[in-house]
Amino acid sequence: MDAATIVDELLEWSIVGSFSRIGLAVRHLAFGWATIPDGSLEGRTALVTGPTSGLGRATTEALARLGARVILVGRSPDRLAALRDELQEAYGGGRFPIVVADMGSLASVRAAAAQILETESRLDVLVDNAGAIHSERTVGPDGIEATLATLVIGPFALVSSLLGLLRRTPGSRVVAVTSGGMYFQRLDLDDLQSEAEPFSGSRAYARAKRAQVALVREWARHLGTGSVAINAMHPGWADTPGLAESLPGFYQLMGPLLRTPAQGADTIVWLAATRAGRARSGALYLDRRPRPFDRLPGTQLSPSDRRRLWDAVVGLAGIPDPLPET
C-alpha cells in the first residue's frame, strides 16, 4: 500500500477528516488529481435533477463549462428559467432546455420523461440529485411518503423511462447523489414509508438514501458490464441550503470545515465526464475513490434484501419491472 492510500484510509476512518473539506484537499494533493479539461463534454447531453441550488447548481455549472448540453429538471419554472438565462449568458445559448417536473409525483415524472424522449436523441449522463427533507410526515400525490417518493420512487421511474435512450447512447452513465448520513441508518423493508415510529425528517432522508444506494447496486447487477454504468457518490459535508435548513446545529458547528458546493460536486463531475469515472458500475464513491457501502453492523442489506427492495419500488412506481430476472 502506497503512502497516498494509507493517508486516504486514515482519513476515511476519521469520518470528520474524510467528509470535511480537509479530506478533499489532502486527497487532491496525495493522488494528484487531474483537472478535467474544458470542452470534455462537447456534443454530449447531461440531465440534472434539482439543478437550481446547492450541489445541483454546482454540478450544472461544471457540466456546462465542460461543453455539455444540460437538461434542467426541476419543480419551479421561474427558477429554472433564471438558471437557464444565467447559463446561456455565461456559456452560450441553445443548450440548456428546461423540463418542469416534481420528482415526488409519478405523473410529473412520466410527463418529463415523455418530453425528454420526444426532444432528445441521446443521453450521456443522468445525475439524480433532487432531494427534500420534511419536518413532518407528508404523503405525496401517489399516496407515497414524500421523502421516499422524491428520493427513491420518482428517480427509479425516471431512469426506467429513459433506460432505452441511455442504452442507445455509447458510454452513458447515471450518477446518484447520496448522503453520508445513510451510513448510520438501517433500512426497514417492512416500513419503507416511515409509518411504524414517530417521524423524523432526517432519519427518513437517510433511510431513503440507503435505499437509493441499494438500488444502484441492483441496477448495476441487472445491467451488467458494457451497458449503462450506474454509480452512487456522496459529497461529504457540503455547505448547501438543504444542510443549513435541516441540520442547523450541525451546520453551525461544522461551518468552517464544510466543503463548498463545487467541492462537494467534484466527484459527480468526475464520474460524469471522465473515462475513469465509468470504469466501474455499482460502486459508491467519495473523492473519486470507491468506498464501502456499510460502516456499522446491522445496516447491511443482503442480496435478497436488495431484490426485495427492488420489487417493492417497482410496485410503488406502478411500472413493469424495467430489468426483470431471467
Residues taking part in catalysis: 205
Q: Helix or strand or coil: residue 156?
A: helix
Question: Residue 130 contacts by C-beta under 8 Å, 6 or more apart in sequence?
Answer: 49, 50, 56, 73, 74, 103, 150, 151, 154, 155
DSSP category for residue 251:
H
Q: The dihedral of CA 172, 159, 190, 186: what is its sign?
A: positive
Q: Three-state SS across 17-59?
A: HHHCHHHHHHHHHHHCCCCCCCCCCCCCEEEEECCCCHHHHHH
Starting at the earlier edge strand, list the strands of the sheet with 69-74. Answer: 98-100, 69-74, 45-49, 125-128, 173-177, 229-233, 284-286, 289-291
Residue 291 forms beta bridges with which residues?
284
Cell numbers at residue 177, please? Answer: 447523489
Cα 221 from Cα 118, distance rounded (Å):
29
Q: How many CB atoms lie under 10 A from the CB of residue 239? A: 18
The answer to whether 161 touches 106, Cβ cutoff 8 Å, is: no
Cα 308 from Cα 314, distance rounded (Å):
10
Beta pairing class for 289-291 and 284-286: antiparallel
Q: Which of 285, 247, 245, 291 is nearest to 265 (CA)?
A: 285
Question: Residue 285 contacts by C-beta under 8 Å, 6 or more apart in sequence?
Answer: 231, 232, 233, 234, 267, 271, 291
Cell numbers at residue 181, please? Answer: 448520513
